[in-house]
Amino acid sequence: MDRIGVTELGYIGLDVGDLGAWRALASDILGMEFVEDAVGARLRMDYWHQRIVLHQGAADDLRYAGFRVSGPETFWGMQRQLKELGVKFEVASPAETEARHVLEFLKLEDPTGLPVEIFHGPQVDYHAPFRPGRGMHGKFRVGAQGLGHMIIGEKGIAASERFYREALGMRGSVDARFELGGQSIAPMFLHCNERQHTIAFGIPGSSKRLQHFMVEVDTLNDVGQAYELARERKAPILMDLGCHQNDQMVSFYMQTPSGFFCEYGWGGRPSLAQSEYNVRGDVWGHNIVDPSLLG
Ligand code: FE
């Protein structure tokens, strides 16, 4: 049987303590649409009902990650695949699918205990066009590439690699080897569509499940605009503008009110058909502005 693979990171849920501060970041700087709702708020980036769900809560971390499959057939196939691999899962109840605004989803956990949801059929609100929280020059680059990427914690690279590669059908490899704080690291970058990586792990230094998430815009002017707004509002900037070697994203990093970081970028290149690695991390820039933010 051919392996069934997820097709995108469709949505994430975050526990956030300070909803007001999140509104200021997500809406006024990033340009997302902020909609208050029963759990806290939902952030929109396109026609989808929700891309990032903010749950009012003290944990200030990633609460769950939703990976998409194409439809009912792959949803059933995914269940067979998980059973064959001995990966435990539950099928979400109708009340749970209603709360997530998807047709169906599976509930499982990655090797660190992160709740992973495999869904199909997101609610798409063509009747409610996306209204950016600030003037935007262009759009968020979502579509078939999903909402962006995230760097997550792991307990042993091999276990996480096995889960995301075999159970979720993602592809990719270690694509950088370098020294970080006197330590040799070889992070694993995995993709499931044209986006160069959808998840990565093996980067030490974060006690949270989520080290950062990245969203991408389709014009450099929106990165410049966010950068200016962040400086004007004295939002904590971790890393200055720069360009990564692996995805060649031109981006900068802000600290979110929850402590983990948000990368805001433009110009990422597609995932490669053949593996390669680099030893510097960046083509240029991405200098640390405020090392104290790393804790
Ligand atoms: Fe990133």
CB 195 within 8 A of CB 245: no
**Which residues have CB less than 5 Å away from ligand 1 (the ion)?**
214, 263
CA angle 60/244/131 to nearest 5° reads 55
Q: Identify whether 46 is part of a domain.
A: yes
C-alpha 253 – ligand 1 centre gap (Å): 9
Contact 118, 79 (CB under 8 A): no
Residue 138 lies in a domain: no
Q: Which domain holds residue 15?
A: 8-122
Task: Specify whether 164 is located in the same domain as 279.
Answer: yes
Element spanning 12, H or E: strand 8-16
Q: How many A from CA of 128 to the centre of ligand 1?
A: 30
In this structure, which amino acid lies at residue 168?
A: L
Cα 112 to ligand 1 centroid, rounded to whole Å: 20
pLDDT in tens, the chain (295 residues): 589 999 999 999 999 999 999 999 999 999 999 999 999 999 999 999 999 999 999 999 999 999 999 999 999 999 999 999 999 999 999 999 999 999 999 999 999 999 999 999 999 999 999 999 999 999 999 999 999 999 999 999 999 999 999 999 999 999 999 887 788 999 999 999 999 999 999 988 788 999 999 999 999 999 999 999 999 999 999 999 999 999 999 999 999 999 999 999 999 999 999 999 999 999 999 999 999 998 7
Within a domain: residue 164?
A: yes
86's tokens: 């001995």
**Which residue, chain included where needed, has tokens 């160069």?**
196
CA of 246 from ligand 1 middle (Å) equals 10
Please state the domain count of the chain.
2
pLDDT given for residue 1 in this prediction: 55
Q: What is the CATH number of the domain that holds 95?
A: 3.10.180.10
CA of 182 to the centre of ligand 1 (A): 21
DSSP of 45-78: SSSBS-SEEEEE-TT-EEEEEEEE-SSHHHHHHH
pLDDT digits (tens, 9 = 90+) for 228-239: 999 999 999 999
Pairwise CA distance, residues 113 & 61, whole Å: 13
Q: Rounded to the nearest whole angstrom, what is the distance from the C-alpha of residue 212 to the centroid of ligand 1?
A: 7
Please indicate, yes or no, whether residues 261 and 188 belong to a single structural domain of this protein: yes
- Token reading at 193: 């569509």
Expressed in angstroms and rounded, the spacing between residue 280 Cα and the centre of ligand 1 is 15
pTM, two decimals, is 0.97
Residue 128 lies in a domain: no
| Average pLDDT value over all residues in the chain | 96
Distance, CA of 91 to CA of 112 (rounded, Å): 20
